[in-house]
A and B are shown apart, each in its own frame.
Chain A
Amino acid sequence: MSKPLKIKLHVNGVARELVIEPRVTLLDALREHLNLTGSKKGCDQGQCGACTVHVDGERVLACLTLAAQVEGREITTVEGLTPDGAELHPVQAAFLKHDAFQCGYCTPGQIMSAVACIREGHASSDAEIREYMSGNLCRCGAYPHIVAAVREAREALS
């Protein structure tokens, strides 16, 4: 058995220390070790997008990222999207307004993906939003409302 690693993760602006096996994914580190369950496990194999978080400002899948691998990088989860917690991020507000979710399980991933999608400049048209939001599956079928929410948030953020 390999030696547990003592690592320090910067999550949502806070340094968090944890002792884990090297094989622990970022997703399991967040959910099982750091009590940050906003990032969801939908497939654990890179096929659904529910675990989308930002690493150094870019959207990635936490289920295919080792926790150890992102030591020293800035990790943002849905819990850290609005650090003060007082107000909703424009993307969150647009999701609520357009009813861009039902069960809510894919939603944190959708929101993290949408924030990045707008930041990347990949939200210039509905067609582009659809393509660049396709890495986040939604079984409830909120897609048209997600597109509407991203479109509106893009305007709010521009």
Chain B
Amino acid sequence: MTPVAAKMKRGDSTDGGAASALGSRLSRIDGPAKIKGQARYGLEHHPANMAYAVIVQSTIPSGHIRAIDSKPAEAAPGVLLVITPDNVMPLKPITTWTGAPSSDKPYLALTREINFTGQHVAAVIAETFEQASEAAGLLRIDYEEKESIPSYDDPKSGAGNPLDAMAVAWGDAGRAFAEAPVRIEQTYRTPREYNVPIEPHGLVAEWQGDMLTVWEPSQWVNFMIHNYAEWYGLPDEKVRLISPYVGGGFGSKAFALGHGAIATMAAKMLNRPVKLAVTRPQTFTAFGGRPATRQTLSLGATKEGNLLSIVQKGANETSVDGVWVEPLASVTALMYATPNLSARQNIVPVNTVTPCALRAPGENPSAWGIECAIDELSYEVGIDPVAIRLLNYAEEDPHAKKPWSTRRLREAYEEGAKAFGWAKRNPKPRSMRDGHHLIGWGVAAGTYPVRRTAGEALVRIFADGRAEVASSGIDMGQGTYTILAQTAAEAIGMPVEQIEVKLGDSALPGAPVAGGSQLANLMTGAVHKAATAARDELIGLAINDPKSPFRELQANTLSIADGVISPPRGGESMSIAELLRRLGRDKIEVQRDTLPENANSAADKLATYNTITRMRSPTDGDYSLHAWCVHFIEVRVDEDFGTVRVSRVVSALDSGRLYNPKLAESQWKGGIIMGIGQALLEEGLVDPRQGRVINNNLGDYLIATNADIPDIEVISVGVPDFHASALGGKAVGELGIVGVAPAIANAVYHATGKRIRELPITLEKLLGD
């Protein structure tokens, strides 16, 4: 296990030190721009002579377009161009995020073949947004419809395709289950869920010669410029993507998508800048959200509650022309010690847009299954839900058979239970009531892996006493700007106010995806390395440069604090600015990466920043690296109406060291709140005939409002984990949501005696007896 020195920072408010130091609760430094309305998001750039594009989507789920009559649209006032499958510019195929070629055929952003309702089929570009919107409604599209499969509940979909690569097995799970004294076997389901960041997708594209500039929200600047560059057969340097602010992504803004191809080609065809904003309804099919999932879990146990076997058979929807795997065994095969386990998964092609990542893909639905099932088992054997989890506590990674780097899950149960008052819980369902409200307490655990990719940062210290940190990595609200300023301030020894952080621009040093909850850890590591090197260079100059006043001290080293350089044993101090002036230097500039020294060529960097091939798995190395959490949740269920409201949440989380607890807590709570919406509200409703997501808007696809959310208490139980990352942090952003939905379902069972195994837990599922 990891040795953790007592004096090491835990990353909580007890860290001490300067108010701005790493680990302190500094307010976000990009905050003022956001609260004053000065932060410019992607669609808020307005190059001269800009035209507006509006997309048209298919209204059939499967078939092909016989004909498109675009003449009425072309004749409409202000219309400059109509792009259809007939005149779409063929683009070159791209390399996917796994580093594999997507295809050997040209990429067509619009095709006559229709594979799902809501597929882009045309775009209208006009002088104004209003003109483009109106003309988009004038296209006459003649479809020939084919039989379609609207969802995996349609018998035509069959069982789907087995994914042997996703299978996990040890022991003889089938036999152990069959012979187990206690058996639970249930199916748990989650519906299609959507990212719905409040900033919809879209971009402004401008060509200047063969140089493309794109203002577009991005979770992965380097991959997206690579996508654009490959489409147009350009080197990456010919594409600049600018994304300093991202209005939420949650997994949906990492790739250049069809609308990006359309806007950039429209700009090229018209030779003028084009803005394309995907409408809110269109966002439901312009990219995929979390696929629908189902999993049958069979738990075998002793009468005392010791797990003997876990058998999982899972499936998720995918599209007919793409593959998305929602890894359903990711928590199942990790959370509990079991001598036998078997997990298999199918993907079932249906006529939908290819699903994609939504906060904790895999872990989220995986925890939904196992954390409900273990709760069911606890009632079956008559053991407290926390106790049964501790009884089956995995002391090491049961799959990889490696020790955990850190796993403060026991502490999470202990501290969470204490803060929640779990000990006072009467285990009997329907044992608590307040008027018409049945009250229930539920618990569930969650986990998210620590993903590791190398990064790179540029640090400049200027003669005016300021410093600058630069990276193409992005901040979509996680707090990247702030923690990188804190990291640099601490490493150099400067006030954080003097540090400017530049992010989200492909002209800056590269970074891998802001996804998989990895960016904070990898970027603090890179910035720390670069800033430390800059500080060392500064001290080296101070000691050795003939113009330096410190030279005569013959010191081995100097200290820097608060922007002031001081000799080790007293003597005159001097500000960094003053020293640089004396030396006649306008700046010190250092760029460092954290790639392995034997693999840091330009090609290695591209592979690191443009693909996920260099991302290290959580079990690569001697340890298994994961963040952990436990949610204790109280619900109030109106016994007549079946409405469920969450009234109390206490979550204890182990994300290792927190670089800024104020911001980490916000992310945890954000995950928990999204989890509350997932548990109670969110569900893509698909018309069974036409395959359309009919609640494709924010009035009908319900996400939680302010009134749905109680105060939430989050407790950090983590300790620095230097196996996990350079500065000791583990995953934060995606951890919080994992386990929330099962904790709520378990609380609903405790309140009502009704076990709901299909999300969301809407009132009709609780009405009746």
How far in angstroms is the closest Cβ of chain B from A34?
11
A21 to B697, CA, bound (A): 26
Nearest-neighbor residue (CB-CB) of B482 within chain A: A99
How far in angstroms is the closest Cβ of chain B from A112?
9
Residues of B within 8 Å of A104, CB to CB, are 30-31, 33-35, 39, 245, 247, 477
- The yes or no answer to B143 lying at the interface (CB within 8 A) is no
- The yes or no answer to B492 lying at the interface (CB within 8 A) is no
- Is B707 a contact of A37 with CB atoms below 8 Å? no
Nearest-neighbor residue (CB-CB) of A89 within chain B: B35
Residues of A within 8 Å of B279, CB to CB, are 44
- The yes or no answer to B515 lying at the interface (CB within 8 A) is no
Interface residue from B77, B198, B245 paired with A50 (Cβ < 8 Å): B198
- Interface hits, B463-513 → A, CB 8 Å: 476-479
A62 to B41, CA, bound (A): 18
Interface residue from A28, A38, A135, A146 paired with B36 (Cβ < 8 Å): A38
Interface residue from A1, A46, A48, A143 paired with B706 (Cβ < 8 Å): A143
- The yes or no answer to A156 lying at the interface (CB within 8 A) is no
- The yes or no answer to A43 lying at the interface (CB within 8 A) is yes
- Is A39 a contact of B704 with CB atoms below 8 Å? no
Nearest-neighbor residue (CB-CB) of B712 within chain A: A144
- Is A28 a contact of B129 with CB atoms below 8 Å? yes
> Interface-forming stretch among B13-21, B64-72, B312-320, B670-678?
B670-678
In the complex with contacts A104-B30, A134-B705, A38-B667 CB distance below 8 A = no
Nearest-neighbor residue (CB-CB) of A36 within chain B: B37
A23 to B30, CA, bound (A): 35
A24 to B709, CA, bound (A): 36
How far in angstroms is the closest Cβ of chain A from B638?
17
- Is B198 a contact of A133 with CB atoms below 8 Å? no
- The yes or no answer to A141 lying at the interface (CB within 8 A) is yes
- Is B671 a contact of A42 with CB atoms below 8 Å? no
- The yes or no answer to A16 lying at the interface (CB within 8 A) is no
**Interface residues as binary, A128-145 with B (CB distance below 8 Å gives 1, 0 otherwise):** 011101111111111111
- Is B37 a contact of A37 with CB atoms below 8 Å? yes
B interface residue count range (under 10 / 10 to 19 / 20 to 34 / 35 or more): 35 or more
- Is A103 a contact of B477 with CB atoms below 8 Å? yes
Nearest-neighbor residue (CB-CB) of A129 within chain B: B706
How far in angstroms is the closest Cβ of chain B from A8?
20
In the complex with contacts A37-B37, A42-B198, A97-B27 CB distance below 8 A = yes
Nearest-neighbor residue (CB-CB) of A138 within chain B: B198
- Is A39 a contact of B37 with CB atoms below 8 Å? yes
Nearest-neighbor residue (CB-CB) of B33 within chain A: A104
- The yes or no answer to A75 lying at the interface (CB within 8 A) is no
- Interface hits, B186-224 → A, CB 8 Å: 195-200
**Interface residues as binary, A67-93 with B (CB distance below 8 Å gives 1, 0 otherwise):** 000000000011101100100100010
- The yes or no answer to B288 lying at the interface (CB within 8 A) is no
In the complex with contacts A24-B130, A43-B697, A35-B46 CB distance below 8 A = yes
A2 to B311, CA, bound (A): 67
In the complex with contacts A24-B130, A141-B674, A41-B31 CB distance below 8 A = no
A145 to B477, CA, bound (A): 14
- Is A23 a contact of B198 with CB atoms below 8 Å? no
- The yes or no answer to B101 lying at the interface (CB within 8 A) is no
- The yes or no answer to A155 lying at the interface (CB within 8 A) is no
How far in angstroms is the closest Cβ of chain A from B607?
29
Residues of A within 8 Å of B543, CB to CB, are none
A42 to B246, CA, bound (A): 13
- The yes or no answer to B703 lying at the interface (CB within 8 A) is yes
A134 to B707, CA, bound (A): 6
Residues of B within 8 Å of A21, CB to CB, are 128, 130
Nearest-neighbor residue (CB-CB) of B700 within chain A: A47
Residues of B within 8 Å of A48, CB to CB, are 198, 280, 698
Residues of B within 8 Å of A79, CB to CB, are 36-38
Residues of A within 8 Å of B477, CB to CB, are 101-104, 140
A63 to B523, CA, bound (A): 38
- Interface hits, B690-741 → A, CB 8 Å: 697-699, 703-707, 709-712
Nearest-neighbor residue (CB-CB) of B50 within chain A: A32
A65 to B509, CA, bound (A): 43
Residues of A within 8 Å of B703, CB to CB, are 137, 139
- The yes or no answer to B399 lying at the interface (CB within 8 A) is no
Interface residue from B37, B77, B672 paired with A1 (Cβ < 8 Å): B77
Interface residue from B246, B277, B673 paired with A103 (Cβ < 8 Å): B246
Nearest-neighbor residue (CB-CB) of A108 within chain B: B37
How far in angstroms is the closest Cβ of chain A from B239?
24
In the complex with contacts A99-B666, A111-B35, A143-B673, A106-B198 CB distance below 8 A = yes
- The yes or no answer to B112 lying at the interface (CB within 8 A) is no
Residues of A within 8 Å of B479, CB to CB, are 102
**Interface residues as binary, B338-365 with A (CB distance below 8 Å gives 1, 0 otherwise):** 0000000000000000000000000000
Residues of B within 8 Å of A97, CB to CB, are 27
**Interface residues as binary, A38-60 with B (CB distance below 8 Å gives 1, 0 otherwise):** 11111111111010000000000
Interface residue from B27, B46, B128 paired with A96 (Cβ < 8 Å): B27
- Is A103 a contact of B706 with CB atoms below 8 Å? no
- The yes or no answer to A122 lying at the interface (CB within 8 A) is no
Residues of B within 8 Å of A28, CB to CB, are 129-130
A43 to B44, CA, bound (A): 15
- Is B35 a contact of A92 with CB atoms below 8 Å? yes
- The yes or no answer to B146 lying at the interface (CB within 8 A) is no
- Is B709 a contact of A78 with CB atoms below 8 Å? no
Interface residue from B245, B663, B698 paired with A137 (Cβ < 8 Å): B698
- The yes or no answer to B404 lying at the interface (CB within 8 A) is no
- Is B277 a contact of A42 with CB atoms below 8 Å? no
Residues of A within 8 Å of B198, CB to CB, are 40, 42, 48, 50, 103, 105-106, 137-139
A142 to B27, CA, bound (A): 14
Residues of A within 8 Å of B671, CB to CB, are 141
Nearest-neighbor residue (CB-CB) of A135 within chain B: B705
Q: Which residue of A46, A85, A99 has the most chain B CB atoms within 10 A of its CB atom?
A: A99
In the complex with contacts A37-B44, A50-B198, A139-B248, A99-B27 CB distance below 8 A = yes
- The yes or no answer to A10 lying at the interface (CB within 8 A) is no
A32 to B37, CA, bound (A): 15
- Is B709 a contact of A103 with CB atoms below 8 Å? no
Interface residue from A77, A101, A140 paired with B37 (Cβ < 8 Å): A77
Interface residue from B130, B245, B246, B698 paired with A47 (Cβ < 8 Å): B698
- Is A102 a contact of B697 with CB atoms below 8 Å? no
Residues of B within 8 Å of A139, CB to CB, are 195-198, 248, 250, 674, 703
- Is A31 a contact of B672 with CB atoms below 8 Å? no
Q: Which residue of B39, B667, B698 has the most chain A CB atoms within 10 A of its CB atom?
A: B698
A138 to B705, CA, bound (A): 7
Nearest-neighbor residue (CB-CB) of B281 within chain A: A45
Nearest-neighbor residue (CB-CB) of B667 within chain A: A102
A111 to B248, CA, bound (A): 18
How far in angstroms is the closest Cβ of chain A from B395?
33
- Is B31 a contact of A96 with CB atoms below 8 Å? yes
- The yes or no answer to A147 lying at the interface (CB within 8 A) is yes
- The yes or no answer to B32 lying at the interface (CB within 8 A) is yes
With contacts A40-B198, A78-B37, A141-B671 known, what are 13 further pairs, Cβ within 8 A?
A32-B46, A32-B128, A96-B32, A99-B27, A99-B665, A103-B245, A103-B246, A105-B245, A130-B709, A135-B705, A139-B703, A140-B666, A144-B712
- A-B contacts, 12 of them at CB < 8 A, read A32-B129, A37-B44, A85-B36, A95-B35, A99-B28, A130-B706, A138-B198, A139-B250, A143-B705, A143-B709, A144-B709, A145-B669
- Interface pairs A-B: 7 shortest CB-CB: A38-B37, A102-B477, A105-B247, A141-B673, A104-B34, A141-B670, A103-B477
